[in-house]
Chains A and B, each alone.
Chain A
Amino acid sequence: MHFDPEQLRVFSALMTEGSTSRASLELRTSRSNVRRIWQNLEEQLGEPLFVTRDNGDTDPTVAARRLEREMTTLLEEVRRFEATVRKIHVNGRVLRLGADRNLFNTGHFGRVFNTLRHDPRFRISFLEVGADDGKAALEAGACDLLFSIEGVPGRRLESRELPPMSLDVACSRDRHDPTPVQPEELANLSWSLATITEKPRALNTLQHIRKSGGGEGQLCTQHHFMRWAEDTKSAETDAMVCVRPVSFHRLSQVMFLPLGLEASYPLNVSYLKQHPYEFLETMVGQVDRALQTPPDGLRLGQS
């Protein structure tokens, strides 16, 4: 004998409510539907379960009482299951943030993490995702939110643009003037653009700086940039235009100055449209707001 869960639900509603009309209100369905399912169950058992009184109240029969008693262990297990789910919700679900290695090391990402980490609804873990694996990682459920510069296209994915990351100029400590580096000043230096994006976007940025009077620059990888920072004095390059990495505080001979130019890299966050976590969308909004308002007018990452 196999009981449909729906039958059991209707049955227990009838037991507790004591009439079809109240049970249908409780189950948010029609009275005829309740009656139909009830009759199905009776047919299956071959035994009447409720006797209807004149005023419409239903009285359980012996069979109904027995069924209710036998059902208790099942309901207990179900309740235990739900309690476990609730406990996981209270303790915080795991939220996996995926990003490229270079993105992790930006002030922007630190800001994202700091806005999220006090939220009791989840605990955060990180996952390094290669530039091309973003879509696969999201669809496989390896990470819940993916941060990337280019965004991740996909039919099942929702992408949202966050405030962009501004560019800085890294140069050796010789310069004592903390004002933004103007493009004209760059023209006198030999400089490179450390890129963490794909090539076309990097070239566009390079072009943009050149057009604003920044002179000729070169493209170099993040790796080059790090190597340069280890030994700025002997290098041929005087300055690097880059997104300021957070963990650079250790290298004291390099200082970062803002670039006096409207140039930036975008930041995208992507997630599955049908994700089990219902709060992803509002959370992304929260992140967006947190990134948009620089605290007391400072530039990002300058704290």
Chain B
Amino acid sequence: MDFDLASLETFVRLADCGCFSEVARAQEISQPAVTFRVAKLESVIGLRLFQRHQDGLQLTREGVTLLEQARKILREHQALGVRMAHFLREARGSVKIMVDRSEAGDRLAATLDKGGYTSAGLEVIRSGSGQAWDDALRDHAVDIVVGGSFLNVGDQASLQRYDLERQCGSTLAWNRDYFDFDPVTFQFPEVLRSTILIPGESLVPGYRPFLEKWCLESYGLLPPDVLTFDDEASARDACIAGLGVMVFPGDAEQRMGLSKTGLGIVQAFEFILPDAYSFSIFVRAGERLPLVLQTAMKVRELHAKQSCAA
């Protein structure tokens, strides 16, 4: 390797966005340094990669050929880091676990973080930072994912799933001071006249696309605004503050402790959406490492204990 990966990355980024200043910001180098890196790469391989125009950059034919291979190199380089990290965890007997930002997840993470509950060296990260949960699991970035999912989004061939909790329907909650919905004569389309608060892709994967499609197909209209939340606590706070109507899958009343907050609450769609929400443990299919499986079992026990207490 007589060219370095940093220049290669600059090349790929520059080819993607065509803007020197954007690449400079992304790589945290100065703009002339971007020019310099590309020029260096060009002179090392003895080819021109870009042709500069008044209105931006254009890849040369060689540049197009090499771009895809450069991408592969970078992807491999990233994968190498992840695989080695996984190997080291395996060698040291530690497990990395990703917990979502639901209330139950918060309780789990707090206990796990304190340590002592499991024998393994445990590393806890919360979802919603960068990588999608299923990709992270498949790429060996984490060993266990604990989180919610909507319907059968979690059913993937490469993943193994154990449901801790299953809940049906959707829960709607609103601040009584701002919205005067009557829980008895409540009609769902009323909700679509105000902002709705829903879980984001890292909290309940698959919910938002479903809801939008559902609204369009059944009622022919979308809510004026949709706020997504990556943790249940802030969604609840927003609902209490009256930002909009909360629409969460499953029995959110019980899960998020809404009954104490004085919000107007209605459960809907129990019959259309059985198993709407499940809180589950995911591991890779065919996971053989006893440590990972043991940890998953411990997490299950812990969750059962905590949900009883709550």
Contact = CB atoms under 8 A, between A and B. Distances in A.
A, B from the same assembly: yes
A77 B84 contact: no
Given A5-B1, A78-B1, A93-B47, A274 B39 contact: yes
Given A63-B91, A74-B77, A140-B52, A85 B45 contact: yes
Given A47-B91, A66-B87, A276-B43, A141 B48 contact: yes
B68 to A, nearest CB: 10
B289 interface: no
B80 interface: yes
A248 interface: no
B39 A80 contact: no
Contact of A67 (B4, B62, B79, B84): B84
A84 interface: yes
B72 interface: yes
A77 B48 contact: no
Interface residues of B, number: 38
Contacts of B51: 140-142
Q: State the main secondary structure of chain A at its contact with B.
A: helix
Contact of B84 (A70, A140, A276, A278): A70
Interface string A54-88: 00000000110011001101100110110011001
A73 B76 contact: yes
B88 A277 contact: no
Q: State the main secondary structure of chain B at its contact with A.
A: helix
Interface residues of A, number: 37
A88 B84 contact: no
B88 A63 contact: yes
Contacts of A62: 91
B66 interface: yes
A238 interface: no
B46 A89 contact: yes
A279 B155 CA distance: 58
B69 interface: yes
Contact of A85 (B48, B66, B77, B85): B66
Contacts of A1: 81-82, 84-85
B73 A81 contact: yes
26 contacts: A1-B81, A1-B82, A1-B85, A3-B80, A3-B81, A5-B4, A45-B88, A46-B92, A47-B91, A47-B92, A62-B91, A63-B87, A63-B91, A73-B79, A77-B69, A80-B72, A81-B66, A85-B45, A85-B66, A88-B65, A89-B46, A144-B48, A274-B43, A276-B43, A276-B45, A278-B46
Interface of B: 1, 4-6, 39, 42-43, 45-48, 50-53, 60-62, 65-66, 69-70, 72-73, 76-85, 87-88, 91-92
Interface of A: 1-3, 5-6, 8-9, 45-47, 62-63, 66-67, 70-71, 73-74, 77-78, 80-81, 84-85, 88-89, 93-94, 139-142, 144, 274, 276-278
